[in-house]
Copies of this chain bind each other. A is one copy, B any other.
Amino acid sequence: MWQQPTSLFTDHYELTMLQASLHSGAGHRRSVFEAFARRLPDGRRYGVVAGTGRILEGLEHFRFGAEQLEFLERNRVVDSRTLEYLEGFRFTGDIFGYAEGDLYFPGSPILIVESTFAEACVLETFILSALNHDSAIASAASRMVAAAGSRPCIEMGSRRTQEESAVAAARAAVIAGFSSTSNLESGQRYGLKTVGTAAHSFTLLHDSEREAFEAQVASMGRDTTLLVDTYDVEQGVRTAVEVAGPELGAVRLDSGDLVEQARWVRTLLDDLGNHNTRILVTSDLDEYAIAALQSAPVDAYGVGTSLVTGSGAPTASMVYKLVSRRNDAGEFVDVAKAAKNKSSVGGRKFALRRLNERGRATAELVGVGERPAGDANDRDLLHQFVDGGELLPGWTGHEGVLRAAQRHHDSVQELPGVARRLQRGEPVVPTEFVDEARQAGAAL
């Protein structure tokens, strides 16, 4: 998966903080860091946790080898004592968090890292990069899947985002319910199903559309998907049916008014006897366009740009904050920044999703300092991923993706129906902080 150390996917200041904290000695204090989002992207009803599996995969490679140390030394990023510390660096703490694919709301403690300050501090940037990107994509993808109902969504956005982001985006989309992706690297790394047939260039390469279709069918079989809008759509459909016959798998429409076009193309296909030929549409779709196409005879949606850019919310605004740490007496002290527009709640968190007797979510309960008592139906949201530096099984690789996709499917089922509305609104359930130790509750 990772073929090089992930340790320099890190902000410079994580290492200078490390140096200063080793110098003061405070770097060895046991600490609790928490990743959470203060808010959902504007108007979203819920967020989707993604990236956790990639973080755990990357953690194994979060090492400072000769090349990394030489860079840090040459550029005097840190002093020799810190270089020595980094040479032997290996995360030895505990990591807890929401299962990948589960939903989150403002204040949900999505990932909790418990270790020395030194160990948790240097992981900050890498953890946030993965969570912020992947969760943004999964959150957008989940809305598209909801809009598409039973029709499959295919991820096709690789060309619109950085090449490694494309792999992560394909993975996040599949977690959120996409059926497949065009991205081959994600197929190799995560075992995702990859699909694709041809672009306009293939038609233009040949001397006529007919020759192109003949070449494609000869090479890929009659059940392939022919792209019919390079010249004239009606003629394209007729030629496609003439070339491939009644077994033609699908036609793809990539331009024009898709709702109207899908209707008459369906009629034309049926008139030509191609009742089993499907219609795939792919032109700049987002969740709103998908919703508008639900009344049209479309069989599958290919989604590109808007998926990989988070459909208006390309990052999830998650932060990673120190919420508790030991003092010299060995006692944990809860801490939080005081700044008015960036406040957070100190203390180790615990989380339950409150479910009513019909299994519907009604609140996100976040316990401060201890697990809220909870009701019989409540679902515990925190799982342990890493124990004393050892990765626990089941959260990474192909297995992790399958498990996350199932988790996502099940968690969405728990939401009230209003969650599937695309209109802007409040988070579909409120977050309630429960601070039983202090006999106080507060709603965010």
- Decide if B13 touches A199 in the complex (CB within 8 Å): yes
How far, in whole Å, are A254 and B317 apart by their CA atoms in the complex? 15
Look across to chain B and name the residue whose beta carbon is closest to the beta carbon of A137. Answer: B162
Copies of this polypeptide in the complex: 2
Q: Among the listed stretches A200-208, A359-367, A418-426, which one makes contact with chain B, having 4 or more residues with CB under 8 Å of it?
A: A200-208
- Decide if A202 touches B12 in the complex (CB within 8 Å): no
Q: Among the listed stretches A99-107, A226-234, A268-276, which one makes contact with chain B, having 4 or more residues with CB under 8 Å of it?
A: A226-234
In A213-227, the 8 Å CB interface with B consists of 214-216, 218-220
A309 interface contact, C-beta 8 A: yes
Look across to chain B and name the residue whose beta carbon is closest to the beta carbon of A215. Answer: B24
- Decide if B219 touches A163 in the complex (CB within 8 Å): no
Chain A, 303-335, contact with B by CB distance < 8 Å: what is the 0/1 string? 001001110001101001110010110000001
Q: With contacts A196-B13, A255-B341, A315-B308 known, is A325 near B133, CB below 8 A? A: no
Chain A interface mostly: helix
A71 interface contact, C-beta 8 A: yes
Q: How large is the interface on A (under 10, 10 to 19, 20 to 34, 35 or more residues)?
A: 35 or more
Look across to chain B and name the residue whose beta carbon is closest to the beta carbon of A306. Answer: B315
- Decide if B164 touches A338 in the complex (CB within 8 Å): no
Q: Which of A58, A207, A215, A220 has the most CB of B within 10 A?
A: A215
Chain A, 1-23, contact with B by CB distance < 8 Å: what is the 0/1 string? 00110101111111111011101
Q: Among the listed stretches A180-188, A240-248, A291-299, which one makes contact with chain B, having 4 or more residues with CB under 8 Å of it?
A: A180-188
Chain A, 336-359, contact with B by CB distance < 8 Å: what is the 0/1 string? 111111100000000000000000
- Decide if A188 touches B230 in the complex (CB within 8 Å): no
Report chain B residues within 8 Å CB of A315: 160-161, 305, 308-309
What's the nearest-Cβ distance from chain B to residue A138, in Å? 13
Report chain B residues within 8 Å CB of A336: 204
Contact of A255 (CB < 8 Å), options: B15, B17, B67, B340: B340
Report chain B residues within 8 Å CB of A168: 162
Q: With contacts A161-B133, A162-B130 known, is A26 near B205, CB below 8 A? A: yes
Q: Among the listed stretches A121-129, A142-150, A387-395, A429-437, which one makes contact with chain B, having 4 or more residues with CB under 8 Å of it?
A: A121-129
Q: With contacts A166-B129, A205-B117 known, is A20 near B198, CB below 8 A? A: yes
Report chain B residues within 8 Å CB of A325: 204-205
Look across to chain B and name the residue whose beta carbon is closest to the beta carbon of A55. Answer: B163
Query: Can you name 10 extra interface pairs (CB under 8 A) apart from A9-B183, A12-B196, A125-B159?
Result: A10-B184, A11-B156, A17-B197, A17-B198, A17-B199, A27-B205, A68-B188, A125-B158, A133-B162, A204-B322
